Amino acid sequence: MSDIIQLLPDHVANQIAAGEVVQRPASVVKELLENAIDAQSSRVNLLIKDAGKTLIQVSDNGVGMSPTDARLSFERHATSKIKAAEDLFQLKTKGFRGEALASIAAIAHIDLKTKNAEAETGTEIVIKGSEVVSQEPCVTLQGTVVSVKNLFFNIPARRNFLKSDNVEKRHIIDEFQRVALAHPQIAFSLHHNGNSLFELPVSNRRQRIVNVFGSKTNEKLVPVEEETELVKIKGFIGKPEFAKRSKGEQFFFVNNRFIKSGYLHRAVTLAYEGLLGDRKHPAYFLYLEVDAQSIDINIHPTKTEIKFDDEHAIFAILRSAVKHSLGQFNVTPSLDFKRDSNLDTPYNYKNKSPEIPKIEVDRTFNPFQHNSHSIPKPSAPSPTSFRPKPRQPEWESLYTGLDTPTDNELPSVEFESEAVTGELFSPEESFTHSGVFQLQKKYIVSALKSGMLVIDQHRAHCRILYEEFLKNITVKASLSQQLLFPLVLHFSSRETQMLREIRDSLEQTGFDFAEINEEEVKISGIPSMISESEVTVILDNVMADLQQGIPENEHKSTQRLAQTLAESTAVKAGVSMTEAEQLSIINRLFACKESSVTPRNEHVFIQLDADELAKKF
């Protein structure tokens, strides 16, 4: 039998490694930004075109590389970070395995220019698909400029799996924000197709968060600080009243490296227990510093997951630190059941000095005198004698015509009682003449010839509004009610970018945007079926759904938008409805193209036949 095992060529091995390291343009951005940070840069510029499909360029002013180092950097497992296996447990840099540049070079065209402080000229290397085309001296500034062009040019299948430019750009912004938040001492900039998206100067952590997510973020932050022998925690958490449905503003950094940890996220959410609304998520920016030997960051190709030696202790410390900060800054309500509020000093008497009270005695008081109609007079006027005020004449008129009842004649007393009507149902559940009634302010029950129909009012209204919104977006524009004073809403730059992407679809539903800036949105018109107070909640829900499930094409994006708008504006459970409103829901529901299920494929109604009801008795 002939031998069948053989060594893979280097270019094939690099393409396989690229499948783990490079999943989309955002993966290239992450690796290049981390290399620039490891080069001790004080400023890093990121330039992308067509969401990274055409060009990704990262330039820095770091230490640069010599011609030999520049050439070796594209070899597999060539790194300056580790020399022995023990170094893996003392890592303080971003990259260390030496796979990133080799993997990127296998699936793209790369042009690298670099120069260190000692050299008079720099070096330029051109690589196409792992093949070095040229290496020549060049004139360049100190630092490194890496240009990645035509990503996945030799793997068409991978390129076809990429999403739209808006989706890929959103992933690039996510990676850029994670790196920028971890290193506020470095200035960052991001440009896309000639437009400046971010200009982040050197700052501290709080200023960096505000620069990334908008000036209105500052008032939402609560500082967190805890230092123990095991872990040092610093950062900020969001106030509960500013919690959103999306998870876009949740960041964990361990030794200045962004990580994802559902276990630590659980610790933070437990600290917020009882403070958040339904399906709301708090914002947090938490920086953890631990001993490098107590963690393993080499368990995932993208290095976004790490393993702690004692994660249970870190869980408990993190939960207590967040809970302590919420209480320390009066975010959580504090109740003292032992304090008597009657003993509190009134505000008006807080700064007054105490006065000695004067004692007044009625020296003419006779306990054996029962004549209540006569008012005793003092024997002699004195400053300490009690002198009652005479009754004013106008008070007498209030009692004119009232006879004093005798012992046998008691005044009639009316007692409040519930009338016994004999009705089986409460008013909101009572039957109507049309055979329709509301049950528990949640279901609409309608009588049928063969039995009865039970309709979920919220799901039914969702189905109705979904088809209406979908029709308005795709066929005709909906009616819009113009506002006398425009609504001014504040969002992060990432959220305003999402609003720009779906602006046309929202305007088809009735929204009228006067202006969309980097952090501010002015709305001059809203759909006729919603109120001004619901606009912020609806737009938050729309952006949260788009973030959680990014649609693959424009048609699915339209469907998701219509679904979110319908769920946000539909009548909720617990709302009492009149007979006319119940009939309207029923008639409009069965006029829909698909009346049995919601856009999320949930049942809208159930039908109970007379035979099924008879079996219950």
- Of 21, 101, 90, the C-alpha closest to 65 is 101
pLDDT value at position 426?
A: 46
| 241 pLDDT tier (thresholds 50, 70, 90) | confident
For the chain, the farthest-separated pair of C-alpha atoms sits apart, in whole angstroms, at 137
pLDDT value at position 343?
A: 61
Most confident of 20-24, 298-302, 458-462, 506-510: 458-462
Calpha distance 335→339 (Å, rounded):
9
- 297-328 pLDDT per residue, tens: 766 666 677 888 888 999 999 999 999 998 88
236 and 316 share one domain: yes
305 touches 260 (CB < 8 A): yes
Reading the block at residue 194, the tokens are 């000639």
- Of 349, 33, 300, 336, the C-alpha closest to 190 is 33
Q: Which residues contact 54 (CB under 8 A, 6 or more apart)?
A: 149, 150
Give domain status of residue 344, yes or no.
no
Chain mean pLDDT for the chain: 80
589 touches 463 (CB < 8 A): yes
Give domain status of residue 348, yes or no.
no
- The stretch 335-358 carries a mean pLDDT of 65
35 touches 100 (CB < 8 A): yes
122 and 231 share one domain: no
CA distances for 288 relative to 53, 225, 317, angstroms: 34, 10, 11
Question: What is the residue type of 157?
Answer: A
- 97-149 pLDDT per residue, tens: 557 888 888 889 999 999 998 888 999 999 998 888 999 999 999 999 999 99
How many domains would you assign to the chain? 3
Query: Residue 280 belongs to what domain range?
Result: 205-328
- The stretch 423-447 carries a mean pLDDT of 67
pLDDT value at position 390?
A: 52
| 55 pLDDT tier (thresholds 50, 70, 90) | very high
550 and 518 share one domain: yes
pLDDT value at position 421?
A: 46
- Of 559, 535, 532, 557, the C-alpha closest to 547 is 557
- CA-angle at 327, arms to 242 and 343, nearest 5°: 120
- CA-angle at 503, arms to 499 and 504, nearest 5°: 160
Give domain status of residue 584, yes or no.
yes
Most confident of 270-274, 345-349, 524-528: 270-274
Reading the block at residue 104, the tokens are 């990127």
304 and 193 share one domain: no
Which residue matches tokens 């949930």?
A: 602
36 and 151 share one domain: yes
- 179-235 pLDDT per residue, tens: 999 999 999 999 999 889 899 999 999 999 999 988 888 888 999 999 999 999 999
- 556-602 pLDDT per residue, tens: 667 777 888 888 888 888 888 888 888 899 999 988 988 888 888 88
- Does residue 428 have a pLDDT over 60? no
Give domain status of residue 367, yes or no.
no
66 and 158 share one domain: yes
In sequence order, the β-bridge partners of residue 74 are none
**Of 200, 233, 268, which closes a domain?**
200
Give domain status of residue 387, yes or no.
no
Which residue matches tokens 């009066």?
A: 330
Give domain status of residue 513, yes or no.
yes
Which residue matches tokens 């932050």?
A: 221
- Does residue 11 have a pLDDT over 90? no
In sequence order, the β-bridge partners of residue 124 are 113, 136
pLDDT value at position 434?
A: 59
Q: Which uninterrupted H or E stretch holds 32?
A: helix 25-38
**Of 328, 359, 378, which closes a domain?**
328
Higher pLDDT, 123 or 243: 123
pLDDT value at position 499?
A: 85
- What pTM value is reported for the model? 0.69
Higher pLDDT, 451 or 208: 208
478 and 546 share one domain: yes
Give domain status of residue 568, yes or no.
yes
pLDDT value at position 38?
A: 87
154 and 298 share one domain: no
Q: Report the CATH number that the domain containing residue 152 is assigned in CATH.
A: 3.30.565.10
- CA-angle at 586, arms to 580 and 591, nearest 5°: 125
- Does residue 397 have a pLDDT over 70? no
Query: 3-state DSSP call for residue 397?
Result: helix
- Does residue 173 have a pLDDT over 70? yes
CA torsion 21-23-28-34 (nearest 10°) is: -50
228 and 86 share one domain: no
Give domain status of residue 535, yes or no.
yes
78 and 219 share one domain: no
- 353-396 pLDDT per residue, tens: 777 878 888 888 877 776 545 455 544 454 444 455 555 555 55
Calpha distance 89→87 (Å, rounded):
5
| 341 pLDDT tier (thresholds 50, 70, 90) | low
490 and 601 share one domain: yes
- CA-angle at 98, arms to 96 and 101, nearest 5°: 125
Concatenated DSSP letters of 539-585: HHHHHHHHHHS--SSHHHHHHHHHHHHHHHHSPPTT----HHHHHHH
174 and 250 share one domain: no
Q: Report the CATH number that the domain containing residue 239 is assigned in CATH.
A: 3.30.230.10
Q: Report the CATH number that the domain containing residue 576 is assigned in CATH.
A: 3.30.1370.100
Percent of the chain predicted with pLDDT > 70: 77
pLDDT value at position 142?
A: 92
**Of 139, 166, 200, which closes a domain?**
200
